[in-house]
């Protein structure tokens, strides 16, 4: 780590976002409206249960109502969509979050796309993805939006920079690539079939790691002065980058934990409040 390496503190960014919501929640309360997020958890995956609990606790601390719906792991696609449709029709529910991943027998894309675009606060629908691509999404995917929020909070320039995104998932790698492109970065998207991956990453002024493998990105892949944003979260509080070695070359870097994760949750809360305001 050099003396000038900036640690991008996600807790700080998340606090700023949540503080900006307090007055808005109070104004909604004066109208008799309490923002409400419904979270659906299918099965008993312990990591998913932890994420859902964290989101529920974050809601309560801010005065947002949280409804948790637990479904058995043998739930069918049709049964899940029926639950989603009931939540779509409930005017007291402003946001719907289906915790990813779902069990294998469920058509996850069909389930995601059953969520009303007005309640898609996690930015997972096909329509929401398309709106994000055209740069007018009300609720872009939360983790990509969190990455952009961190860059904006710390005044990290994006325009004209070469951003390298490692990962192409429809709720992380692809949408963050589009968001960076919409902010006039030149974007290279890498994935499991990419050849000469390390050489491509070395070109990045901004590197986004969203590959889902612990310590995947090596320190010598990072060119001196690059900004490194780690969107990974693996068992043992380990990100997708080899932090101890990447920090030696980076000009700015997100830690894991306390990097992108807290901002992702704050973004989800922000989207839920915005959805309630639109209904009001």
Give the residue numbers marked as catalytic: 55, 99, 122
Structure tokens at 145: 């939006």
Where does residue 202 fall: left (phi above 0), alpha (psi -120 to 50 degrees), or beta otherwise?
Answer: alpha
Q: Specify the DSSP class assigned to residue 104.
A: T
Structure tokens at 66: 């949280």
Instruction: Please state, in angstroms and rounded to a whole number, the distance separating the CA atoms of residues 226 and 235.
Output: 26
Q: Are 268 and 55 in contact (CB under 8 A)?
A: yes
Cα dist from 16 to 10, 11, 66, 112, 215, whole Å: 10, 9, 21, 29, 29
Q: Are 4 and 255 in contact (CB under 8 A)?
A: no
Instruction: Please state, in angstroms and rounded to a whole number, the distance separating the CA atoms of residues 39 and 87.
Output: 10
Q: Specify the DSSP class assigned to residue 115.
A: S
Cα dist from 85 to 81, 82, 217, whole Å: 6, 5, 41
């Amino acid at each position: 780590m050099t003396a000038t390496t900036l640690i991008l503190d996600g807790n700080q960014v998340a606090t700023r976002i949540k503080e900006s919501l307090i007055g808005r929640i109070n104004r909604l309360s004066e109208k008799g409206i309490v923002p409400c997020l419904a979270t659906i958890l299918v099965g008993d995956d312990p990591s998913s249960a932890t994420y859902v609990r964290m989101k529920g606790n974050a809601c309560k601390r801010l005065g947002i109502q949280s409804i948790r719906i637990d479904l058995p792991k043998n739930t069918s696609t049709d049964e899940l969509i029926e639950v989603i449709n009931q939540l779509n029709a409930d005017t007291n529910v402003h946001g719907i979050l289906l915790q990813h991943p779902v069990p294998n027998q469920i058509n996850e894309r069909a389930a995601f796309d059953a969520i009303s675009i007005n309640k898609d606060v996690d930015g997972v629908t096909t329509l929401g993805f398309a709106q994000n691509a055209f740069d007018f999404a009300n609720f872009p995917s939360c983790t990509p939006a969190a990455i952009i929020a961190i860059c904006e909070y710390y005044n990290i320039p994006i325009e004209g920079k070469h951003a390298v995104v490692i990962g192409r998932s429809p709720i992380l790698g692809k949408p963050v690539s589009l968001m960076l492109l919409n902010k006039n970065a030149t974007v290279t998207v890498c994935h499991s079939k990419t050849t000469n991956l390390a050489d491509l990453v070395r070109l990045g002024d901004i590197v986004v790691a969203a590959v889902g493998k612990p310590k995947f990105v090596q320190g010598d892949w990072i060119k001196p002065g690059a900004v490194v944003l780690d969107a990974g979260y693996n068992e043992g509080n380990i990100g997708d980058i080899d932090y101890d070695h990447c920090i030696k070359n980076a000009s700015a870097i997100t830690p894991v934990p306390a990097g992108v994760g807290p901002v992702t949750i704050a973004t989800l809360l922000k989207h839920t409040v915005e959805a309630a305001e639109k209904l009001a």
